[in-house]
Amino acid sequence: MKYVLLFGGTMENVDQLEGKAKEEAMAAYAASGKWFEEYTKAGKVIGGEELRGPSTATTVTRKNGRIAVTDGPFIEAKEVIGGFALIEVKDLDEALELAKAWPGGAVEVRPIVDHSSDR
């Protein structure tokens, strides 16, 4: 089964990381890199990326037939998504094990919809 792991935190976390000395920030990134390397080699992580901060987001919405393009994230929230990993594992339990091993903050685990049988 395929899942996406959404790596979350807060704007405070982002500000703290950006305010750290380069060596400290690199150590935090190294832990995340090690996680990606380990599970990619194991064939469980099949994709993923780090995302730029919420201030770089552009949102396209449709309401009553009108399209609006606005700067900023879609959802006003304290939490932000910093990146994601696309994983392929046998079941939710295995997906949760990968999420628990993530060295950062919160991880949302969501299954991918398989449309292959729709064709």
Match 């449309």 to its residue by tokens. Answer: 115
Give the pLDDT confidence score for residue 44 in this predicted structure.
97
Give the pLDDT confidence score for residue 87 in this predicted structure.
98
* Model confidence pLDDT, tens digit, residues 82-99: 899 999 999 999 999 999
Spell out, as residue ranges, where the chain has pLDDT lower than 50.
none
Query: Residue 55 carries which DSSP code?
Result: G
In 3D space, the residue among 104, 89, 64, 61 whose CA is nearest the CA of residue 4 turns out to be 89
Give the pLDDT confidence score for residue 80 in this predicted structure.
84
Kindly report the average pLDDT of the chain as a whole number: 88
Give the pLDDT confidence score for residue 23 in this predicted structure.
82
Which domains does the chain show, CATH number per domain? 2-114 (3.30.70.1060)
Sheet holding 79-88, edge to edge: 45-50, 79-88, 2-10, 107-111
Residue 91 Cα distances to 30, 45, 61, 94, angstroms: 28, 14, 34, 6
Give the pLDDT confidence score for residue 97 in this predicted structure.
96
Q: Which two tokens stand for residue 106?
A: 């919160």
